[in-house]
Each structure stands twice: as C-alpha cells, then as structure tokens.
C-alpha cells in the first residue's frame, strides 16, 4: 500500500473518530414525525434485484451516487462522472479518437474492473439502451458498447453501480457489473439552470442550459416530467498544453528513454512533409492497371549524394529553413529532428461538441391498481474533430508513382536529360537518365487539415403498465425501442485514383506537386529552392469526402412480477420475483461506393477502396434475437420475530436466468447469495454468479478488413535499424469477423461486511472482496508486443543453448517463424544482417537480438483464448454527521485495491500479468480512491472532492534487464511477467486531483430572486497534469483525459419557479 492511500485511510478514520466523539455529546435532532409517532419505511428495489426490501442497498454491493456526490464531481458529461468511481478503470473508447477505423466524435465507453466495456451493462431506469453503432477496438477486438455520453447528465435522482454480476436479472452479459441511471420523478414545478465553464488556459468553454418541468394532472392521477438539456463545448487542442504539444516527449522521460532517437516516447510520425522516396521504374501492373511492382535503382548520371544505390532518397531539413537531399534515414536528433511530423499540432484533447438531450416521462393511474407509464428520450449531438493532412504510405496505400513527365519531379525530364541539353525555356538540366519516383512516405502538407464531423442521434421509448395483485404481489410489463445512428463525414481526404491522375499531368498549371518543393539546377547541381503550395484548382480535383454510417437497433418486451410466495416461521415470508424478456438487436455499418469498397464495373479493384489512409471495408449487417426467463427468490431463514443468538437475520437468495440466442443456442446461469446479521449493526454478505457473454455482432459479421494501423512501431527492429519504416509508421492489418466464435463464460464471487458503527449514528463502513474468472475470452492475434516478447525469448533460449547470435535463425518470412505467427515478416536481407551485426557488436548477450526481416502485414483474427482472472477489495466509509450549529456534514471515502489480474494468451500458455499495467480496460493500478466532504447550512452549501489513481506500468515503454540493473534498478522501472517473459517497464506515476464548490440559495420576497441558487466550482483545483506515458499525446487519454483539461472553473445559476 502506497503512502497516499495509507495517509488518506488514517485521516478518514481519524475524522470519523473525532466526529463520533462530538456526536455522543451533541443534542439529538428533531424527529421527522411527531414525538412518539413511528416513521413508516417503505421497501424499494435497487439495481441487481427485483425484490423489494428495506435495506436493499446493503444486502447487495451497490454504490449509489446521490445528488450530493453529483454536485461535488460537477461533471459536464456522464463519462467524467463515472471516471470518479474507483471501480472504473478507464474509457477504452473516448473522444480523442481520430483515426478512420475508430469510433470518433462524441463517444465514450466505460470499463469496470479492467474488463472490456461490453461486459459492463448500462441501463436507464433499469432497462437497456442501443449500443453505439461504430465499433471500437479494445485489446484488438471490436466492441459494441453504449455511448455513456448519451445518458442524461441533468434531471437525475441517482446513479447506481452494482459491483458484482447481475446476470440472472438483466442478462448474462452483465459480467463486470451494472451502471443504472435513475431519473428524478418527484420534481414539481419549473426549474431553469444556466451554466458556464472555462479552463484556466482560456479554452474548452462550456455553455449549458437545462429546463426541467414537473406537474401533476387529472386531480393527481397523472404525473409527468420533462428535462431538456442543451450543451455546447469548444474544442481543446493538444498543442495548447505543455505536456501534449509535442509528440516527442523523450525530453520528459527518464533514462534509458530520454533520448530523441529512442522512439518509445518520441512518437513523431515518419510520414512527414519532407518525404522518403525511391527512384526506379515500374515493372508490373495488376489486372486493374494499378502498379504492382517497382524496381528501385539509382539511374545513370545521378550522383551518390542525391540517392543511394537502391534508389532511395530523402528530403530533409537543412537547418536554415530549406531542404536538402539525403541518402540515409534522417536522425531524430539534431538538424534533421524536424524531418519527423508532429501530429499533436492539430489533434484535440476534446472535440468541439453540441448536444441536445431531452428526457420525458409520465404515468397515469387508470384505477387504484393499474398505472400506465411511458418515457421517451432524444439525444442529438454533433462533434467536430481534426487530424493532420493526408499522407501517402507505400506499405498501406500501394504504389503511387511520380512519372518522369511530371514537371515537378526532381529526377524527371525537366531536370535530367541523357544529353544534358537545356529545356526549351532555357533552364538547365543535368546529364543523366530521367527517372520515375515511387513515394515511400510523404505527408501532403500543403493540403488542409482534415475535419471530421460526427452526427449522433439516439432515440429511445418505453411504454408499459404496472399494477398490484393480491397481497404483496405487483407486476409490470413494458415495450422498449431504442435506436442509435452515427454519420461520420470527413472533409479533405484524397481519392487515390484522382490523385494519381493529377500527378500524371504534364501541364504545370494542372499537375500536382507531391514534393511540395521547387527544384532547380544551379551551378551544375540539383537543389531544392523553396516551398511550394499546390493551388486549389489542382487539389480540388482529388480531394473528397469520406462518409461512414452506423445504425444499431434494440427492441424488447418484458414482463415481471414479484411478491411474497409463502409465509413461513417467525412472521417471515419467502419472496419471489419472476419475469421474461424478448429482445432483438441489429447492427449495420456501411459506406458509400469507393469509401467502403470500389463498386463493380468501376474498373478498380473491388476488394479495395479509393481513399488514402482509409481501410477498405465491406458493409456489415448482423442481427440476433434473444429470449429469456428468470426467477429470483429470497428465503429468510431467521429474522423478524424469529431470531437466534448471534443470528438476528439470515437470508438465502437464489436466482437463475435462461436465455436462448438465435445464433448460440441456450444457456442457463445461476446466482446465489447469503446475508447474515449477527447484530443490528453488523451484516455479512456473499454471492456467487455465473455469466455468459455472446460475441457481439461486429465480432461475428464484420467482413474482411484491410486496416491501416498508424503510428505503429516495430519494437524489435526499431532500436536496431533506426529506419523510418521500423519506427512509428503505418502498417497493414488484415482482420475479419469469425462466425465460429464461442461465447465467453464467467464466474463471479463476492463477500464482505457492512458495519453500522455502534454508538456513532450515521457512520457505516463496508469491506468487500470480489473476483471474476472468465474463460474462452475473445481476443485477437497480431500483436507486435507479443511478437517482440516471443522473438526475445527465442533468441535468449538459442544463446543459452550455445548458438552464436549471428547463427540464430528465427524463421523470418518462413513457416518456421519463431515470433507471433500472425505477425508476418519479410525474409531477411543482407542489409538486415548488417544492421543486426552492428547492433549486437556493442551489446552484451542479454541485450542482443537475432536478425529478422521487416514487418509485412499483421494478420488479425478473433479467437477464444483460455482464461482471465481478476480480484480485489472495495472499501467504503460513509458518515452523515449529526446536525451541528455549523451545519450538516457528510463524509465519504471509497477505495478499490486490485489484488490480482492476469490472463493466459492461449491454452497452456505462460501467465501474463495485467495488474499494475495499462494492458486492459484503461489502467489497472493497485489503488484507486475517491473522497468527498459536503456541508450545508441553511442557504449555504460547499463541498470538496479528492480523487486518486495509483501508479501502473506502461506496456509501450520497455527496456532490458541489463539496462535496468545498470541504472541501479530505479523505482520508475518495474519488472512485469508478460507471457512468461519478464518485461522491464516504465512506471506511470500516480495522480491526485481535487474539486471544490460553494453554493448559495437566495431567499427573498422578490419573486425573480427567490429560490435562485448560485454555484461556483473549480475542478482540478491545483491544475494537476496527467502523468507521462508512451502515448503520442504524452499521457493516456483512456485514463486521464479529464485531468488533461487542467483547472476548470464554472458558474451556475438555477432558478426554480
């Protein structure tokens, strides 16, 4: 346990002890009712059960975020509220996403316990919502999850988080837990709230207006409420924060990563405004006329100072604002450091967003036993995000050739002639063979920044009846329909065939200059003379719009009933709930012609598309039907009028759910529970549940995808070769859905105690143990990290067996490859051998690497791997102090300790640690915690919140044992077992942040001022910065995007009429 959690826990207990001493001497508060009149308590339900009980929230491990908790957090969107919970490990899908294959825009998914977000069930008033219709890869696997930002952020009564599985009530897919947003129903009158917020940096401005109206009608038989929330937020750019302005964060990193030539923290892109090229000639075309092979060679007459023998050349910065020719890979240090492109110059921390969220509900008593109810919600949002101009990467976009006839080609007809004769306009040429140029890597830097508009619409409606039967029995039946649609429209990307057509032009007024430089022959030499911007009349011929559509639909009908089934001894009764559900789910992801795939008859390859930087995708359509029935019962063995020594109450609970899937057959999963009260102030509770998580529709039905993985580093070769193609660059990844996938299964256990501290009214403490074991987990292959670990392990095993490093054959490019099989590498070349020989000559055996070829393609498949196990402890202390002259205080501190988290990548594979890493579901440190203290006195209110995330290791920043020990085994490097191999990883340090607010409610005779509440708040009070990690933004956006905003102040005025 680190110092901070220890200190916080001690302070919490000390605070509770002092307050309890005061409580014993303070006068008691007035009773809610008249003196001596008993207060009648009504039973109720919480998330996780359909049975009504008085102390339901203590019987089950449920965290309830009440209005006071929501006020301290002051979250501008639901994702910010949920990340305050210690059980939430991150937002695997979040608003920083920019790449074409990701779910961009106004989207966030939440992960509980480090398990993928699809294992967390999000509900609105106890019923499901349609998932976000653009899948998001988590651990390399497409996930369909509810966009939490579509949930209401105003008009809430509470948020309930069930911290163990609820498979038998809501569905067997609620493996990690359930988050249930409960809207207010008892509000009467009209309330208008206006809010403004801004960061200390003068950006990220937020404007919010919320109108709430509730009323009774028909002489109290009917009740209705509507909340309309309008929200606008300005963008925040990575360039405007010191920790994220640069993609090269090596200067912030400790040794051995503190040099810019190490690409762990220097994630500047090799797709750059200068460019990497290859001279040569076209040697083959495919059936559709596209170049399929190109032979590189330095042409006759071209000097070695301009191009290598292979024909390779670079344009690099010359230190005086211009460019020069180079034949070797530019260094990431010194003059040529700016060769590499800083993506953070245009990327955002949060996109600009406009949202409208309307929720309406109503109910009407048909008679004294039957009530009709309905609710409807509408969410519409548009977000605008940005990314760098188009780039050309030969490995993913194929060959794009600049012919010798292009007037801007520095090795073409305008600058070279076999006779050396001048051009007809008198400009000089050099003697040599004109050559075509193949573009290996080039950012088309004179094109405009690409702008991505994401329109999201979510509709949901529920209509139903509820009523009373005889005795304690009640029933409810409802129909639900929910649909989500996303339209992504990116302006600015290039149509590949039209770009090639522009490059092939010979007229300088119509031809595209991909070099964005001008050249001339001066003093008998070829030189770059200046920058060049292509005119709009040229770029408009190939710039286009990329459109993607996604739609998900969810429909369901359910019926439920609950009551006392049988009276037993001691005035107790066996309670029972039963119900059934039918639902259908659909998923559609499609793109127009040329954006998804080239249409038949277009003359283009129908298995590819025609956009630079976007992967070809076939349309995806999938659906399923699910039928379910469940039963739940509670048996009070001891309680009420029948008690025993040290057994004031003892209850057994049991439930089971049967589900029938149209694509996976049938399953029945149980849940059992026990709670025991030896005294009125102490309760012990335990539960066991089983889960069944079917593959989502994206995992099953997605067609073959040829993805472009951007910023991907070959962690095995990069430090050896220093080549741009081995550093952060674009790579091809082939993936497809797998209809042979099997469901994931799980078993969850929990046990704990709840202590209402004797003689200290209002003070309660709970401690819970929890664990989740999953089997047949759906995962993906093709991980470069796994490939590197396998290659290092094979190398060390061969060295231990007596082989010389130069004699080790890892099978690169063959069927006997010793790395991760889905990572396909090219055969080893002599150039590869030379690089590895030079590298190993200066390393001890523990740091040496056997030679392999460059990565050709990542073949990604989805499959069911062996198992995963996670467990830990939840701690909660809550104290509602007695009323003092100073006012009312409420104190809460809640913490989660992760005890174990590991997985096996395949059956009988070595164990891989996930605890204390960022390898799953955000970040999984040993400790997370949140503490709040609120105060109210008459019209005044105030509160402070403290939020803590512990340190964890960064899977993207590793070193070797030899280097680790040579540095003196520093604390910022942690050894972690990864697939049986010890990795030495950088440790992302812990974080602490504070929120503060104060409010005042005006009581006045003036009707315009009376019942007006003014609230001032500051989030991230001390402007804490997110800790360094090996993400291009310099921090982990899945964990720390809220912290990246910086100190944010807000002012809110609320008027109730």
Tens-place pLDDT, residues 345-401: 999 999 999 999 999 999 999 999 999 999 999 999 999 999 999 999 988 889 999
**pLDDT: which is higher, 360 or 145:** 360
Section 205-220 average pLDDT: 95
Picking from 102-106, 160-164, 388-392, 514-518, which range would have the lowest pLDDT averaged per residue?
Answer: 102-106
Mean pLDDT of the chain: 88
Confidence of residue 620 (pLDDT cuts 50, 70, 90): confident
Cα diameter, the chain: 114
Q: Among 48-62, 181-195, 437-451, 555-569, which stretch is predicted with the lowest mean pLDDT? A: 48-62
Q: What is the pLDDT of residues 865-874, one digit of tens each?
A: 778 999 999 9
pLDDT for 25 equals 35
Which range among 161-175, 220-234, 778-792 has the greatest average pLDDT?
A: 220-234
Q: Does position 109 have pLDDT exceeding 90, yes or no? A: no
Residue 651 has pLDDT above 70, yes or no: yes
| Domain locations in the chain as residue ranges | 275-340+391-443+499-541, 705-736+782-860
Distance of alpha carbon 170 from alpha carbon 629, whole angstroms: 10
What is residue 956's three-state secondary structure?
strand
What pLDDT is attached to residue 55? 56
Answer whether 86's CB lies under 8 Å from 80's CB.
no
Q: Average pLDDT, stretch 574-582?
A: 94
For the cut 90, the answer to whether the pLDDT of residue 1020 exceeds it is: yes
3-class DSSP state for residue 628? strand
pLDDT at 333 over 50: yes
pLDDT (mean) for 46-70: 69
Q: What local confidence, expressed as pLDDT, does residue 21 receive?
A: 35
Please check whether residue 1052 is in contact with residue 1015, taking contact to mean a CB–CB distance below 8 angstroms: yes
Per the DSSP assignment, residues forming a β-bridge with 488 are 454, 548
Residue 100 has a pLDDT of 56
Out of 40-44, 311-315, 572-576, 608-612, the most confident range is 311-315
Cα–Cα dist 499/504, whole Å = 9
Q: Check pLDDT > 50 for residue 1039.
A: yes
The CA distances from residue 113 to 173, 244, 339, 773, 865, in Å, are 15, 28, 42, 12, 19
- pLDDT for 31 equals 33
Residues 486, 93: contact at Cβ < 8 Å?
Answer: no
Is the pLDDT at 926 greater than 50? The verdict is: yes
Per residue in 843-866, pLDDT (tens digit) is 888 889 999 999 888 877 788 877
**pLDDT value of residue 162:** 87
Amino acid 167: pLDDT: 65
If we measure between CA atoms, which residue out of 711, 712, 696, 733 comes closest to residue 617? 733
- What is the reported pLDDT for 37? 37
Q: Is the pLDDT of residue 27 over 70?
A: no
Q: Please, which pLDDT band fits residue 984 given cuts at 50, 70 and 90?
A: very high
Question: What is residue 682's three-state secondary structure?
Answer: strand
| pLDDT (mean) for 1024-1050 | 94
Q: How confident is the model at residue 48 (pLDDT cuts 50, 70, 90)?
A: low
The yes-or-no verdict on residue 10 having pLDDT over 70 is no
Most trustworthy range by pLDDT among 104-108, 236-240, 570-574? 236-240
Task: Decide which of 436 and 19 is more confident.
Answer: 436
Which one has a higher pLDDT value, 1027 or 68? 1027
Q: Is the pLDDT of residue 17 over 50?
A: no
Return the pLDDT at 692: 85
Averaged pLDDT, 801-818? 92
Residue 755 in this model has a pLDDT that exceeds 60: yes
Alpha-carbon distance values, 846 to 248, 718, 840, 961 (Å): 28, 18, 10, 8
Judge whether residue 56 has pLDDT over 70: no
DSSP 560-613: EEEEEEEE-GGG-EEEEEEEEEEEEEEEEEE--TTTSSPPTTSSS-TTS-SBTT
pLDDT tier for residue 13 given thresholds of 50, 70 and 90? very low
Q: Residue 705: its pLDDT value, please? A: 64
Residues 6+ away with beta carbon under 8 Å from 132: 93, 103, 107, 109, 144, 145, 146, 147, 150, 484, 486, 550, 552
Nearest to 823 by CA among 866, 792, 855: 855
Asked if residue 197 has pLDDT above 80, the reply is yes
Q: How confident is the model at residue 481 (pLDDT cuts 50, 70, 90)?
A: very high
How many alpha carbons fall within 13 Å on the CB side of residue 700? 19
**Token code pair at residue 89:** 């490990």
What are the φ/ψ torsions at residue 919 (nearest 5 degrees)? -85, -10
Between 932 and 62, the more confident residue is 932
What does the pLDDT read at residue 45? 58
Beta strands 120-124 and 177-183 are parallel
Q: Which residues pair with 890 in a beta bridge?
A: 880, 934
Q: What pLDDT is attached to residue 124? A: 93
- pLDDT tens for 878-888 read 999 998 889 99
Share of the chain above pLDDT 70, in %: 92
pLDDT at 46 over 70: no
Q: Look at residue 99 in the predicted model and tell me its pLDDT.
A: 65
Spell out the long-range contacts of 402-405 with Cβ–Cβ below 8 A and sequence spacing 24 or more. Answer: 402/436, 402/437, 402/438, 402/439, 402/503, 402/514, 402/515, 403/436, 403/503, 403/504, 404/434, 404/435, 404/436, 405/504, 405/506
In this prediction, residue 793 carries a pLDDT of 85
Contact between 226 and 184 under an 8 Å Cβ cutoff? The reply is: no
What pLDDT was estimated at residue 103? 61
């Amino acid at each position: 346990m680190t110092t901070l959690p220890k200190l916080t826990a001690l302070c919490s207990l000390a605070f509770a002890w002092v307050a309890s001493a005061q409580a014993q001497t303070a006068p008691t508060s007035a009773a809610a009712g008249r003196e001596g009149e008993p207060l009648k308590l009504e039973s109720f339900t919480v998330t996780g059960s359909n049975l009504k009980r008085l102390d339901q929230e203590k019987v089950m491990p449920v965290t309830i975020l009440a209005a006071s908790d929501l006020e301290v957090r002051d979250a501008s969107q639901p994702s910010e509220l949920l990340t305050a919970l210690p059980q939430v490990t991150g937002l695997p899908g979040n608003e920083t996403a920019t790449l074409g294959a990701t779910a961009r825009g106004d989207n966030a998914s939440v992960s509980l316990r480090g398990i993928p977000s699809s294992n967390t069930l999000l509900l609105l008033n106890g019923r499901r919502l349609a998932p976000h219709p653009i899948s998001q890869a988590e651990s390399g696997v497409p996930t369909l999850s509810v966009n939490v930002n579509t949930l209401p952020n105003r008009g809430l009564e509470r948020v309930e988080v069930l911290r163990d599985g609820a498979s038998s009530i809501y569905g067997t897919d609620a493996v990690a837990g359930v988050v249930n947003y409960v809207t207010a129903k008892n509000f009467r009158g009209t309330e208008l709230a206006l809010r403004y917020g801004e960061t200390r940096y003068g950006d990220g401005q937020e404007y919010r207006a919320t109108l709430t109206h509730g009323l009774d009608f028909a002489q109290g038989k009917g009740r209705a409420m509507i909340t309309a929330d309008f929200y606008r937020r300005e963008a925040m750019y990575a360039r405007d924060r010191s920790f994220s302005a640069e993609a090269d964060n090596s200067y912030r990193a400790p040794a051995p990563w503190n040099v810019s030539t190490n690409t762990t923290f220097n994630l500047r892109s090799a797709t750059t405004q200068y460019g990497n090229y290859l001279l040569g000639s076209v040697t083959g075309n495919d059936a559709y006329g596209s170049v399929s092979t190109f032979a590189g060679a330095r042409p006759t007459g071209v000097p070695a100072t301009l191009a290598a023998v292979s024909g390779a050349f670079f344009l690099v910065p010359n230190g005086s604002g211009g460019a020069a020719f180079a034949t070797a890979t530019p260094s990431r240090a010194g003059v040529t450091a700016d060769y590499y492109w800083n993506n953070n110059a245009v990327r955002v921390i949060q996109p600009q967003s406009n949202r409208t969220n309307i929720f309406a509900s109503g109910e009407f008593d048909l008679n004294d036993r039957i009530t009709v109810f309905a609710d409807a919600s509408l969410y519409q949002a548009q977000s605008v995000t940005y990314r760098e101009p188009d780039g050309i990467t030969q490995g993913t976009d194929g060959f794009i050739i600049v012919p010798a006839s292009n007037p801007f080609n520095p090795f073409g007809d305008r600058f070279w002639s076999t006779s050396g004769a001048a051009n007809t306009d008198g400009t000089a040429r050099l003697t040599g063979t004109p050559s075509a140029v193949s573009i290996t890597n080039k950012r088309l830097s004179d094109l405009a920044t690409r702008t991505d508009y994401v329109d999201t619409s979510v509709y949901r409606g529920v209509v139903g009846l509820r009523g009373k039967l005889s005795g304690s029995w009640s029933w409810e039946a409802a129909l639900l329909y929910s649909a989500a649609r996303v339209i992504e429209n990116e302006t600015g990307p290039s149509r590949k065939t039209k770009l090639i057509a522009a490059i092939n032009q010979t007229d300088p007024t119509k031809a595209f200059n991909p070099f964005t430089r001008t050249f001339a022959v001066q003093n008998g030499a070829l030189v770059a003379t200046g920058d060049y911007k292509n005119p709009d009349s040229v770029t408009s011929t190939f710039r286009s719009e990329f459109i993607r559509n996604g739609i998900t639909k969810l429909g369901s009908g359910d019926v439920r009933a609950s009551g006392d089934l049988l009276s037993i001894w001691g005035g107790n009764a066996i309670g029972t709930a039963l119900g059934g559900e039918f639902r259908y789910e659909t998923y559609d992801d499609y793109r127009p012609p040329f954006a998804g795939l080239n249409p038949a008859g277009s003359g283009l390859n129908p298995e590819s598309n025609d956009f630079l930087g976007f992967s070809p995708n076939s349309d995806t359509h999938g659906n399923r039907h699910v039928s379910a029935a469940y039963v739940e019962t509670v048996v009070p063995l001891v309680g009420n009028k029948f008690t025993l020594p040290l057994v004031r109450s003892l209850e057994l609970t049991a439930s089971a759910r049967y589900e029938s899937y149209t694509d996976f057959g049938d399953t029945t999963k149980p849940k059992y529970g026990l709670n025991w009260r030896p005294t009125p102030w102490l309760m012990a509770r335990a539960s066991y549940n089983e889960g069944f998580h079917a593959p989502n529709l994206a995992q099953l039905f997605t067609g073959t995808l040829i993805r472009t993985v951007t910023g991907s580093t070959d962690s095995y070769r990069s430090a050896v070769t220093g080549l741009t193609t081995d550093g952060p660059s674009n790579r091809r990844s082939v993936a497809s859905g797998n209809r042979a996938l099997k469901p994931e299964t799980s078993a969850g256990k929990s046990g704990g105690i709840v202590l209402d501290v004797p003689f200290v009214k209002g003070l309660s403490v709970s401690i819970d143990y929890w664990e989740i074991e999953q089997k047949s987990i759906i995962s993906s292959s093709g991980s470069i990290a796994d490939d590197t670990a396998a290659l290092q392990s094979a190398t060390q095993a061969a060295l231990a067996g007596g082989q010389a490093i130069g004699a080790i054959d890892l099978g690169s490019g063959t069927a006997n490859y010793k790395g991760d099989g889905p990572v396909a590498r090219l055969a080893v070349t002599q150039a590869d051998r030379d690089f590895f020989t030079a590298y190993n000559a200066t390393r001890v055996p523990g740091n040496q690497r056997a030679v392999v070829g460059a990565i050709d393609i990542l073949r990604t498949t989805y499959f069911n791997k062996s198992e995963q196990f996670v467990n830990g402890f939840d701690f909660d202390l809550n104290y509602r102090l007695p009323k003092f002259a100073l006012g009312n205080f409420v104190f809460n501190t809640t913490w989660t300790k992760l005890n174990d988290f590991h997985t096996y990548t395949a059956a009988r594979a070595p164990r891989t640690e996930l605890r204390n890493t960022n390898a799953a579901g955000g970040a999984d440190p040993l400790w997370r915690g949140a503490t709040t203290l609120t105060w109210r006195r008459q019209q005044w209110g105030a509160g402070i919140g403290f939020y803590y995330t512990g340190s964890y290791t960064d899977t993207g920043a590793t070193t070797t044992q030899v280097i680790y020990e040579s540095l003196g085994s520093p604390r910022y490097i942690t050894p972690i077992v990864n697939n049986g191999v010890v990795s030495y990883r950088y440790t992302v340090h812990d974080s602490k942040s504070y929120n503060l607010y104060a409010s005042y409610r005006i009581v006045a005779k003036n009707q315009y001022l009376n019942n007006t509440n003014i609230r001032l708040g500051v989030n991230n009070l001390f402007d804490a910065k997110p800790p360094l990690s090996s993400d291009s933004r310099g921090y982990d956006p899945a964990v720390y995007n809220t912290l990246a905003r910086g100190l944010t102040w807000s002012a809110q005025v609320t008027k109730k009429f």
